[in-house]
Chain A
Amino acid sequence: MAALALNLLIFLPLLAAVVVWTLPERRQALAPQLSLAVSLVGLALAALLLVGLPGLARDESGAALIGEARAEWIVVGERAAGGLRDGVILRYHVGLDALSAPLIALTALLVPLSVACSFTAVRHRVREYYAWLLVLTTGMLGVFAARDVLLFYIFFEFTLVPLYFLIGIWGGPERRYAASKFFLYTFAGSVITFAGLLYLGIRAAQIDGLSVIDFDLVRLSTLSLTQLSTTEQSLLFAALFCGFAIKVPLFPLHTWLPLAHTEAPTAGSVLLAAVLLKLGTYGFLRFSLPMVPHGALAWAQVMGVLAVLGIIWGALCCWVQRDVKKLVAYSSVSHLGFCMLGMFSLLPVGLSGSVLYMVNHGLSTGALFLVVGMIYERYHTRDLDQLGGLARQMPVLASFFVLFVLSSIGLPGLNGFVSEITVLLAAFNSDVLGPWYGVLGATGILLGAVYMLYAAGKVLFGPLKEPPGTPDLSAGLRRDLTGREIAILAPLAVLVVVLGVAPRLVTDPLDGALQSQILDRVHEARAASAIQHHPAYAAEVHPLPDGRGSEEWYTTALFIGPEPGEGGPP
């Protein structure tokens, strides 16, 4: 039952896309309604699936999935009596676990909103537009649900295509350049990631002594660590880094983002910021950390430095923008820096804060893009110098804008604060990173207030400034928000408050899975490398029987050599 629901959740939008695309021209007006209906059904299905989440959190083994569906899809190789030999297996294997559930929920929530926000904004090639939006939905949901690494990669790349068209056809004046840059940039990176994943799959088969290469997610993330050398893991981490870091985007690989965001239509920006950037962070969480923990450890400080640089760099760039959409885009660079900082603190608080940050960033930045889109629809400009004093004209919009700005700058009581403080606390206390990372990251709190209030002040406050001939209300808009627009923003506003007061709705189900699937792996790797590099520490933390691992034992082993009958250092 749950499996059916999950499959429907993923593929119903794809089916609907075909239907929407092939609607006859005179039924064109049905396209938005149909898409909205389908995405709402998706939201209901997601809600249905998430009911099982608390049960999942109680499951100790951590292997259970919601809505698991599994089938062999592409099988290459020799069929023999004992099964397949010398082949490759690609499975269609989907299911929700605690790590992917929040992101699935986020996606399912934001799709109907971004469909609804396009009703008046998109007026040409309508059927195509909604079809691409639905195709994108399938891609995004598939990525998070995939339990097979190759399947993940297929969905991962699959999301590029619809977004390429969404930006390239319905975007702003520089849409073609933006679309190509976005596509090539992210694609170039993920090809290297793909190579890394392939290598990992092949090595996994070697290590386990199997003749069949398969890309099962769990199998790859529970490989014996001793078989994969530290160098190998570091290189693999670097390979995975290429695709994921560009997607995040991590400084200095972020330059595609402002352009893509600025040129994309509102719905594209919303989904890009809220969901597609999370593919990168999710990739790091799901692949880099558990599959190559030694590599993650070796790279953690580099990641921390890049994250902190991104926080500050993005924030300062925000401050000098004139285009408010570009400003929000740069704020994503800064925010995602927080997310990565928490993740690579490698502490439970940091990891759960990081996942919470993904959700919160999706909500507040998605909402900001929606609000900016609504302003743009009326004024046809996003130039901060051409707008001003809109609060008096549009009090409802102004209230929402201020609320989301406050959420974005981490005002306590709203969602952004909880993730920000846990992430910074983790970075500060982490023994991989350290206090300075926390301190420098915390400057982001300060700078965030500076640029966000700068933007809000310019747009909302002061004397009224409108470009001549605006607001353009030809699409049936009102000066202030219409009922439809309020209905789009209200759920986000509610969640922003609810998650600020009760963040444990997200983090509680996560903790067990983070511990068993990621942190245990990382600690195993740490203990192993500690034994190699810091015998004293290792002896203290993980004392081995018969004094092995103690300092004296190592000194003896190092200078005299192991005694007969005793193994060398593990």
Chain B
Amino acid sequence: MIASATFSVLSPAAYATLPFWPLLGAVLAGVLIMLRARPQHAHWPVVLGVALSAALAVTLFVDLGQNAEVTGSTSVTESPSLSGRGQGEGESGDPTAALELGRRASSGFSHTLYGWISLGEKISLQNRQWLSVSFHFDGLTGMMLLFVTVVSLIIVVYSIGYMRDHHGVPERGYERFFAFLGLFVFSMCMLVMAGNFVLLYLGWELVGLCSYLLIGFDYHRPAAAAAAKKAFIVNRIGDFGFAVGIFALYYFLSGCAGPGENPLDYAVVFKYAPHLADADSGFLGMSQATLVSLLLLCGAVGKSAQFPLYVWLPDAMEGPTPVSALIHAATMVTAGIYMVARCTPIFELSAGALDVILTLGVIGAVLTATMALAQYDMKRILAYSTISQLAFMFVGLGCRVPDSAVFHVFTHAWFKALLFLGAGSVMHAMGGVIDVRRFSGLRHVLPWTCGTMWVGCLALAGFPLLAGFWSKDEIVHAAFERHVVVGVLMLATAGLTAYYTFRMFFLCFHGKPRWPEEAGHPHESPRVMLVPLVLLALGAVLAGYLGVRFAPGRDSFLGLFQPHGFFHSYLGHSTIGHPDHGHGGLGLMYLSGAVAVGGIVLAWVRYGAAPEVDPDRKLLGGLWNLWHAKYYVDELYDDLFVRPLRNFGRLLFATDNRGVDGVLWLITGVPRGLAFALHFMQRGVLKTYALSMVLGLVLLMLLWSWMA
């Protein structure tokens, strides 16, 4: 299973230490808390830890790339395609496909640290199977680690400035914040590097925990505490399905695994995954592949905040802004996309599951884009746009182009982190106010923030030549290939995205300068916050060029660029392989560029002067209110699930007290009744006792003499 090629720069053991440096930093920060040291410098251990992992990740990225050149001989364009769109499941019997699948299953290297949990074996203990702490390195891991650690580092540095007041005094809980951030980076790296499903689940839950701890960072605010709880629990609903999916995988595949193969390792699962394609799962007539895919999908839907479990993400904006940027935009929420992409060998066996992904993606994209139109909270607008973009990635997954989805994950991380950090910078200057109605014209006081935000908004809107454009275009393209309705809906959503993004931008930065009294004398953020903004802005411009080739010619965009570049060939050396992207579609690129520009222009026309009265609200009326109230989904869930379940709990508890104990009361009623019947004998009168004793004695003697 494990390819013989080795790393050339560092040893696998060295790369395996990658996740643990931020953890060490977090622990050291924790020690600082215990020592009650002055928090002024508490960020150093975490910053250094994350920086070390980032350095390792970059090295790993380069190293994996070299290996890919050595071992991988196929290039992007002429790679044999496994999954032509719309051909369904019938292909799994194709010998070349099986060959390709086998190659992909064995792509990458794994490194085992130690056997974590012994799984025994079905009948005896010989031939024992393990769940190990093992890491898997391939193109997908390298790519994910690259942006996770680098973006994390940038955001951690930004937090040094953000988590202080205007005089540079750290906020309450400063050390705790950095300790949690370190823990998060550790967890996220574990998630990405995991070599088996249970370790993936470990990272999965740990990032959820960090999300919980960081959303609830200001735990004394009830909204923050409630949002943290909601995030964790909604995620757990998805994780329930995910866990059952892992059990099901084990159930279906543990018999296949040969000696020495641990049945939940990626390599083993993907090697035997074709067995799942046609086998009946015994549940609603689904194939095993469909069942497993749908169960795993539950986890992805929860973690990546997709319909119908997206409700936690907007509330999660109660957390500090760097957290929103790091966890709820750039990294953690993309874990669902990562997982589905990682499990491509399973998902592609089930056309049904892919259609479900596609449907959820389309619904989510449209639904949340409309909600974003009618919000005023800057961070919530960004949160809805995050859900909408994640839904784009889902559509990519559903259209059998997981590499495009991961590409969008990659570009999205840069510009969305940038937007959130920009919003944080605004919030920092406005004294914590985030409602776009309460300030405008900030471009004069926050020039750097405004400039970088402008880049971020353009990238999110899909303005041509910026990062978001390239990746979003690939997905829209795949959507049109899948079905024209899907394509049109995606294009429309892209237009809406451009529109609401710039609505927010104009409301903030244009119009006449005014701000709330909380802001005092607003001024630009310190340099420790601006440098990260600039770096991310660079990323938002340049990240997309990893995924395109510079190939001048008549059939290329603007006569210069061809889609599917280095990024896609790099990802080809992973479980994703080289999906078939179809050909042509140059016109679509111009069209989607035009839609983005159109959205921006429309926003300029309606909001360019930052009007105090919302023109959309006047225009749309009831529909706008419905969007503003988020379609009442939260209330619906509360009425439909939460309260009935809680009432059911009350019923059970009452049954415990009355019913179950009541039955016991009935049983104990037998001796109780007997006691009551004989109760007259216990009146405490000594003489009655004596008399009854005598009578008993006489009775016994009579009995004895009668028997004799």
Contacts and interface: CB of A to CB of B under 8 A. Distances in A.
A172 interface: no
B158 interface: no
Nearest to B663: A252
B201 A317 contact: no
A503 B250 CA distance: 20
B243 A424 contact: yes
Contacts of B656: 254-255, 258, 313, 317
B198 interface: yes
B617 interface: no
Contacts of A318: 649
A511 B118 contact: yes
Given A503-B117, A508-B118, A515 B125 contact: yes
Interface in A443-482: 443, 445-446, 449-450, 453-454, 457, 460-464
A238 interface: no
A411 B205 contact: yes
B222 A406 contact: no
A412 B202 contact: yes
Given A347-B122, A411-B206, A428 B250 contact: yes
B116 interface: yes
Given A449-B233, A462-B219, A463-B222, A255 B653 contact: no
B202 A413 contact: yes
Interface in A357-395: 389, 391-392
A464 B220 contact: yes
Contact of B119 (A411, A422, A435): A422
A457 B225 contact: yes
Contact of B220 (A317, A462, A508): A462
B250 A421 contact: no
Contact of B233 (A347, A406, A453, A462): A453
Chain B interface, >50% SS class: helix
Contact of B236 (A316, A429, A446, A512): A446
Interface residues of B, number: 55
A7 interface: no
A136 interface: no
Nearest to A315: B649
A413 B206 contact: yes
A320 B125 CA distance: 43
Interface in A294-340: 313, 316-321
A176 interface: no
Contacts of B53: none
A453 B232 contact: yes
B462 to A, nearest CB: 38
B226 interface: yes
Interface string B644-663: 01101110110011001100
B254 interface: yes
A52 B660 CA distance: 46
A445 B239 contact: yes
Interface string B179-220: 000000000000000000010011011100100100010011
Contacts of B206: 411-413
A422 B250 CA distance: 12
Given A454-B229, A463-B220, A464-B220, A438 B244 contact: yes
B652 A316 contact: yes
Interface string A52-89: 00000000000000000000000000000000000000
Chain A interface, >50% SS class: helix
Given A316-B648, A523-B123, A461 B220 contact: yes
> Which residue, of B121, B243, B248, has the highest number of chain A Cβ atoms within 10 A?
B243
B121 A424 contact: no
A401 to B, nearest CB: 12
A463 B224 CA distance: 11
Interface residues of A, number: 59
Contacts of B674: none
B638 to A, nearest CB: 14
A317 B649 CA distance: 5
A435 B251 CA distance: 8
B467 to A, nearest CB: 34
Contacts of B657: 255
B652 A313 contact: yes
Contacts of A429: 122, 247, 250-251, 254
Contacts of A449: 232-233, 236
B645 A389 contact: no
A439 B244 contact: yes
Contacts of A320: 646, 649-650, 653
A501 to B, nearest CB: 8
A421 B243 contact: yes
Interface string A150-187: 00000000000000000000000000000000001100
B258 to A, nearest CB: 18
B120 interface: yes
B90 interface: no
A31 interface: no
B398 to A, nearest CB: 26
Contacts of A392: 219-220
Nearest to A514: B125
> Which residue, of B198, B201, B247, B251, has the highest number of chain A Cβ atoms within 10 A?
B247
B120 A349 contact: yes
A352 B120 contact: yes
Nearest to A463: B220
Contacts of A49: none
B73 interface: no
Interface string B103-125: 00000000000011111111111
A507 interface: yes
B219 A461 contact: yes
A418 interface: yes
Contacts of A515: 124-125
Nearest to B133: A501
A412 B648 CA distance: 29
Interface in B452-500: none
B198 A348 contact: no
A123 interface: no
Contacts of B120: 347-349, 352, 511
A425 interface: yes
A46 interface: no
Contacts of A422: 117, 119
Contacts of B204: 412
A442 interface: yes
B285 to A, nearest CB: 16
Given A348-B121, A424-B243, A442-B240, A462 B225 contact: yes
B685 interface: no
> Which residue, of A185, A321, A428, has the highest number of chain B Cβ atoms within 10 A?
A428
Interface in B79-138: 115-125
B115 to A, nearest CB: 7
A507 B690 CA distance: 64
Contacts of B619: none
Given A442-B247, A446-B237, A406 B122 contact: no
Interface in B642-699: 645-646, 648-650, 652-653, 656-657, 660-661, 664, 668
Contacts of B236: 445-446, 449-450
A271 B626 CA distance: 55
Contacts of A503: 116-117
Given A418-B117, A442-B240, A446-B236, 4 more contacts: A413-B206, A435-B251, A457-B228, A504-B117
13 contacts: A316-B649, A317-B649, A320-B649, A392-B219, A411-B206, A417-B202, A421-B198, A446-B239, A457-B225, A461-B219, A461-B228, A464-B220, A511-B118
